[in-house]
Amino acid sequence: MKHFLKETDFDHTQIQNIFANARQFKADRKATPASLGNESWGMLFYKNSTRTRVSFEAGINELGGHAILLNQSNMQLSRGESIADTAKVLSRYLYGLVIRCYEHDVLEEFAATGSIPIVNALSNFLHPCQIYADLFTLAERWATSGDLAGSVKGKKLAFFGDTACNMANSWVLGGAHMGMDIVLAGPPEFAPKQAIKDQLKADGYARDIQYTPDALEAAKDADVIYTDVWVSMGDEAEEQARITKMQPYQVNEAIMAAAKPEAVFMHCLPAHPGQEVTQSVLDSPQSIIFDEAENRLHAQKAILAELKIEE
């Protein structure tokens, strides 16, 4: 049995297979093999969602399974039942569990105490499904051969804003795993934290995180310009302070002009035009935000199919 909690949980051969299957699933959705044939998979959400919920529910159904939406607030978890007991019970009912939560420890405890595959659909530490979808989106554009995963190697991605958030962490870890050059730009008080440095080391990557408070320096010669919301769920109490501090890191025409002429803009959505990115950048030909949103479905279907192979 295998879990998908972080970007490094699949090796390069498996990632190549995931990307190849994602491309096949995208080419003909109705021809998707029933890898989850008649299996019931749970989707446990501690946080609200649009893309994650719909893409996973549709993907499980298209793989021949049945998706059961679970809300933490409507379960006995909200009344004090332990994660361990919940994991053991759900393991008797389900074939796998997709979890979108706050603390990453929740995912690790479900994986440690249950007996079914656990998929990280977002934690405050990492968002690996989004990274795989993003990487596949870039591979679609850049691959000139069957080596989809290899097409991203050596490319530069510049991330702007809260460089201690889950998306920044995921790009640091995923970029190291895929051989990409990841540069983070944001306010010093939102610089990368020790936890992601420790994770890099634990996964065998002895590299320093590239961080700079200079936005234009980070954007220089980038192949990809990436940003995320400045105020995530749970950070609303400090919303105005965050917006003020992040303003110099807004992705705008000047940032895009500093990147390579053929650079693309990416955002995991939802976006807040006028905050982390301007409307003109969102609407520009360089923006591929809806390609990456669509690819959540195809990449996640391929991730679930790969987990079935690894059982």
Side-chain-side CA neighbours of residue 28 (13 Å): 5
129 is catalytic: no
The answer to whether 298 is a known catalytic residue is no
Measure the CA–CA gap between 28 and 240, rounded to whole angstroms: 45
Catalytic residue among 228, 250, 267, 300: 228
Q: Is residue 268 annotated as part of the catalytic site, yes or no? A: yes
Residues 6+ apart with CB under 8 A from 287: 264, 265, 267, 281
Of the candidates 235, 191, 228, the residue with the CA atom closest to the CA atom of residue 211:
191
Residues 217-240 as b/e (b if ≥16 CB within 10 A, e otherwise) read ebbeebbbbbbbbbbeeeeeeeee
CB-side neighbour CA atoms (13 Å) of 280 = 8
User: Does the annotation mark 199 as catalytic?
Assistant: no
Determine which one of 223, 296, 298, 300 is catalytic. Answer: 296
Q: Is residue 130 annotated as part of the catalytic site, yes or no? A: yes
Residue type at position 259: A
Q: Is 104 a catalytic residue?
A: no
Q: Which of 100, 104, 267, 298 is catalytic?
A: 100
Of the residues 14, 130, 275, 300, only one is catalytic, namely 130
Residue from 3, 51, 104, 127 carrying the catalytic annotation: 127
Rounded Cα–Cα distance for residues 94 and 306 (Å):
17
Active-site residue among 23, 199, 268, 298? Answer: 268
CA distance to 32, 97, 148, 196, 267, per residue, from 125 (Å):
32, 19, 27, 8, 18
Q: In what order do the strands lie in the sheet with 96-100?
A: 66-71, 40-45, 96-100, 118-120
The catalytic residue positions are 100, 127, 130, 228, 268, 296
